Amino acid sequence: MNQRRDRVTLHDVAREAGVSPMTVSRVINNTGRISDATREHVRAVIARLDYRPSRAARTLVTNQTMMIAVITPDITNPYFAEIVKGVEDLAWERGYSVLLANTNENQAREHAVLSQLEDSTVDGIIICSSRLPDDDLYALIEQHQAVVVVNRQVPKHLASVVKGRDALGVRALRAGRYLAETGHKRIGYLRLKRSQWAVEVEQFLDELGSFGLEANPDWCMQCLPTWEAGYAAAQTLLARHPELDAIVGGNDLVALGILRAAVEAGRHVPGDLAIVGGDDILLASLVTPPLTTFHVPKYEIGNRAADLLFKRMTGDLQYREHIYIETLIRRDSAP
């Protein structure tokens, strides 16, 4: 299995080229001064022998892996897929590879991933929408050289941050306000379970209350950020509380689940029931009726996160943040 199938080494190249290993190393790394003649010659030998430097050996001595990790709750959620793409593109540009860790919305797995990932594996880490409690997350981040956190705030000495302008995902509050303003009276909320970045039910109720609306905790539930979970939760919610005339979903997948449950329950959207989502995935614009939601620059989030990470990896540990703007997109599910 691990037969070193006659790997061509730096020394082979050196011997073949009649120079010292050090010269070859210099040619590869474009470092030090080398005469054009020998450089060309060495290059030719490298090409002829199809020599490729060993990453492991190089990493061992330079302490750089040329890899970054992206930790994500669910790569299957188009929201995260876009972010990852944004990361990957910039990484590729800079010659880095991306290690993808999917935690499947599972705290234990996220914890395990973060504690296993040490400096000899990866030069930096991007943590998206961590589901870990603060203390745990902070402690784990502290172990690492360079970290960027997406959709979460952390102490400024620990990591740079990419997040929405409205702290703590005030999106749901804005959605509630919008629904109130457009004449809805009995508004429900499906909060994302485990998301440390989602508006708490209490805040949501307070917000509704401040508009003079009835604020009923029974109209709120929690569910995982998946379509299935949103669908199931909406079924119970709608069965128990047919009086609802609007529901806010924690993200688009959940909102789409609500939409389906509503249609199946014979509700007319938006006539009987208005629905607002959260992150404007492609799906949101394609369903009928299309979903009112918030636009979020997902690709850009990933791209900027990578950019901030590279700055940290460079040794520049200054705290930076990239603030993105979430804008309400009115579509027919809540016009």
Interface with DNA (CB under 7 A):
4, 7, 9-11, 19-23, 25-26, 28-29, 31-35, 37-39, 51-54, 57-58, 60-62
Q: Considering beta carbons, is residue 8 or 232 the nearer one to DNA?
A: 8
Residues in the chain: 335
Q: Is 9 in the site for its own copies (CB under 8 A)?
A: no
| Residues numbered 205-234 forming contacts with its own copies, rule: CB under 8 A | 227
Token readout for 34 is: 């080398």
Crossing angle between the packed helical segments 10-17 and 36-49, to the nearest 10 degrees = 120
Strand order across the beta sheet in which 274-276 lies: 220-223, 187-192, 246-249, 274-276
What string of DSSP letters covers 196-252?
A: TTSPPHHHHHHHHHTTT----GGGEEEE-SSHHHHHHHHHHHHHH-TT--EEEESSH
Residue 19 CB, nearest distance to DNA (Å)? 4
Binding site partner of 256, from DNA, its own copies, none, Cβ cut-off 5-8 A by kind: its own copies
Q: Which of 25, 59, 216, 222 binds its own copies (CB under 8 A)?
A: 59
| H/E segment holding residue 161 | strand 160-164
Residue 78 CB, nearest distance to its own copies (Å)? 7
| H/E segment holding residue 178 | helix 171-181
| H/E segment holding residue 286 | helix 282-286
Binding site partner of 283, from its own copies, DNA, none, Cβ cut-off 5-8 A by kind: its own copies
Q: Considering beta carbons, is residue 37 or 108 the nearer one to DNA?
A: 37
Residue 59 CB, nearest distance to DNA (Å)? 8
Q: If binding means CB under 8 A, how many residues of this protein chain bind its own copies? A: 55
Q: Is 93 in the site for its own copies (CB under 8 A)?
A: no
Binding site partner of 140, from DNA, its own copies, none, Cβ cut-off 5-8 A by kind: none
Q: How far apart are CA 256 and CA 269, in angstroms?
A: 12
Measured CA to CA in angstroms, residue 244 lies from 257, 261, 291 at distances of 16, 13, 18
Cα diameter, the chain: 86
Q: Is 75 in the site for its own copies (CB under 8 A)?
A: yes
Footprint of its own copies (CB under 8 A): 1-5, 7, 52, 54-57, 59-60, 62-65, 67, 70, 74-76, 78, 81-82, 84-85, 88-89, 92, 97-102, 104, 109, 118-121, 145, 227, 256, 259-260, 282-283, 286-288, 313-315
